[in-house]
Amino acid sequence: MKKEITYLDRNEYNYGPAPEIGEVLKNFDPNKLCFYTRIYDEGKKSILSDYISELYGIPEKQVILGYGGEDILKQVVHCFLAGGTKQKTLLIPKFSWWYYKSIADEVNGRTIFYPLFEEGNTFKYDIQSIRESVEKEKPEMVLMASPNNPTGNSLTKEELHEILSFIPRETVIVIDEAYASFANKDTSYIKPLIEEFPNLLIIRTLSKFYGLPGLRLGFAFMGADLSVFLNYSTKYLGYNRITEEIGVAVFKASDYYQHIADLMAEDRELYMKELNVLDGFKVYKSEANFILVKYPIAMKAKLQEALKAKGLIVKFMNEEDINTHMRITLGTQKQNRLVIDTIKEVMLNSK
């Protein structure tokens, strides 16, 4: 009998989708697929971008849609770093998603890392170092992630505003907010930021909080100075019409997803309570659907073996200065309980 594998290494979603999504698929009229969207006749890109515009109070022309948040990231980096004779520069956090640098590499971009520092049970952005890097490197683009993957820390509104204020207007600023809905229910800050900083792009996704990575749907809010990116990213003949309708249904099912986010918050506390008491372990505060755990590196092989034996796949980090850590996606409460018990069993048997 084939062992069931629980994947807790890619920050995917182990709860099922909202019932409303099944209703969309059940009731979708396939005849719609025979025609392009007619909302273009109103000068709009999509029924979904129009819905998001109303939801966030941001003009539809400043709403971007993409094939997942990662597609928008790729497009904006390619748009502003490619071309010309000068090698263009992107600033990114030292501990961050490997994909950021990979995208820049695709267009021969120059990537500079700025530090995050550990403080207590969390990581923080080094704002002064960001300022110094901006002044020294004069980058074409600065990228931040809030919450950041894999460290799980967020920028406060005050910290974010401070950073945005010293970055020159000719520099493109990208904030990856893939996990932001776990950190903060309030989205009212987005519109004022987009208005005050017209060189800003804020990227979100339906892959994390809304648990639909397989849908491949992301969206973003674009400052007025980035209009060249609107032309670069907009799909001339519209978007996938099934995906559009699912997207609208997802936003309408916010209560369902908030309930699951609340369960995940309980389990973040459970990890901290039960693993922090183990010798050599440290669980960092996270505002995302994963936690970062420091463990005794001498126990790596035993932990890997024990977790694998239970069919549990977590991510053991191998990046410099964070290679004694593992990132664990928050699964269901039953799955999280199994991970915790497996780790505790390994440590008990090692004494």
pTM: 0.96
pLDDT tens digits, 258-277:
999 999 999 999 999 999 99
Percent of the chain topping pLDDT 70: 99
CB-count burial class (<10 Å; 0-12, 13-18, 19+) for 18? buried
pLDDT tens digits, 297-311:
999 999 999 999 999
pLDDT tens digits, 313-343:
999 999 989 999 999 999 999 999 999 999 9
pLDDT of residue 325: 98
**Cα separation of 222 and 11, whole Å?**
26
pLDDT of residue 34: 96
Residue ranges and CATH numbers for the domains of the chain are 6-15+255-349 (3.90.1150.10), 19-252 (3.40.640.10)
DSSP calls for 27-76: H--GGGGGS--SGGGGT-S-HHHHHHHHHHT--GGGEEEESSHHHHHHHH
Indicate left, alpha or beta for 211 from its phi (over 0: left) and psi (-120 to 50: alpha): left
Task: Categorize the per-residue pLDDT at 85 as very low, low, confident or very high, splitting at 50, 70 and 90.
Answer: confident
Kindly provide the residue ranges of all beta strands, DSSP E only, lying in the chain, ordered along the sequence.
Answer: 6-8, 63-66, 89-93, 110-114, 116-119, 122-125, 141-145, 172-176, 200-205, 218-222, 282-283, 290-294, 312-316, 325-329
**Cα separation of 208 and 329, whole Å?**
11
Mean pLDDT for 122-148 is 97
